[in-house]
Amino acid sequence: MKATLHINKKNVKYNLEYIKNKIGKDKDIIVMLKANAYGVGDKNMAMLFQEFGVKFFGVANIEEAIRLREYGIKGEILVTSPCIGDEIKDAIQNNISMSVSNIENINDIDMVAKSISKKAKLHIKVETGMTRLGFSYYELRKNIEFILNLKNIEIEGIYTHLSCAGSDDEYTKLQFDEFKKTLNLFGRKLKFKYIHILNSDGTENFSNKDIGINYTHIRVGLMLYGYTKNTKPILKLEVPIIHINNVKKYQKVGYDGTFLAKPKMKIAVLKIGYADGISRLLSNKLNVVIDGKKCPIVGNICMDMCMVDVTDVDDVKVGDNAVFFDYDNDLEEISKLSGKIVYEFISGLSNRIDRTIE
């Protein structure tokens, strides 16, 4: 018996179709599968999206990219953080595109590609206001001729990352302007195969507006998993009961005795804990659902287990499942109680939890 994260295939398809309809037929999607597909499971999600016709995937590092190739992913794969050292050769040999954010990195890539007599595929990352990775406008202006004259690279894409597309329209428009200014540097010197700027919030809020940029693709992550407006949640977490205690009055429950039992309480032990991504901040706060009834977590959540009050659940037994969240539940509440955002909560779910598509 293990905790299981169920993935609703119909809702995944609904979200993908919603995004396709929103951006129109002249643009395409880069599906982000970084951090084990935001904790959902990169193998399951990669194969599912490939089945649905997705041809371009984004990841955070070379290890994630190579893993997708090992799963049998045939489409384009972009690593969105810099590849350095041996990672460069691995990317080239596995037909993986690399992001570049500075002139030293792009020069290193050119030299590695030359040494193995192959061309490296690159996307230029532009810094427009995230203050994280990317070439500044001035650095590109200074080095553009040098970059264009490198013989062992193919610059196939250019992109940036929006930092406030869900919270600050004016700042986002400034990022659009900075990106547009950078695109104009290249003019007719280089025709990009891929231009991408909109993330999940950007897609929801700006894909139906004229932003003055003729982009080819959008990059979406959590939007596909259903935790943005107008999409359907795809996840349900079920956890088995592994033991049941009949507890005496005033018995302390769990580490530090933060909960005192009431008379004739029945407490079930669930096979999940903070090592699985269920924060201790949820102790004595979160309700789970067993046989349709809300059952509060009692006592401090342990590393591998937690306890819930099942006094009011008739005929409860070992092997029954508790539902932590369901397809129609809002993960925002659980995430907030955990002191996290939804991205953080989901991506923190442990690999000890089984993943299954249904």
Closest C-alpha among 179, 183, 137 to residue 160 = 179
Q: Can you tell me the distance from the alpha carbon of 357 to that of 235, in angstroms, rounded to the nearest whole number?
A: 10
Degrees (nearest 5) of the Cα angle 82, 276, 33? 35
> Which is catalytic among the residues 27, 34, 121, 271?
34
Sequence-ordered list of residues with C-beta below 8 angstroms from that of 355, at least 6 positions apart, any chain: 4, 5, 7, 40, 41, 44
Question: What's the angle, vertex CA 317, arms to CA 315 and CA 319, rounded to 5?
Answer: 140
Radius of gyration of the chain (CA): 24
Return all residues near 305 (Cβ < 8 A) that are at least 6 apart: 242, 269, 270, 271, 272, 273
Mark residue 95 as left, alpha or beta (left: phi above 0; alpha: psi -120 to 50; beta: remaining): left
- Strands (E) across 197-353 are located at 217-220, 235-247, 252-253, 259-260, 265-270, 287-290, 293-298, 306-309, 321-325
Catalytic residue status for 255 = yes
Give yes or no: 34 in active site.
yes
Identify the residue whose tokens are 């192959």. 118
- Other CB atoms within 10 Å distance of the CB of residue 35: 18
Catalytic residue among 2, 142, 255, 317: 255
* Token representation of residue 331: 């993960």
Residue 266, exposed/middle/buried by CB under 10 A (0-12, 13-18, 19+)?
middle
* Strand spans (E) along 133-258: 153-159, 194-196, 217-220, 235-247, 252-253
CA 200 from chain center: how many Å?
A: 11
As given in the structure block, the two tokens for residue 250 are 């005033």
Active site residues: 34, 255
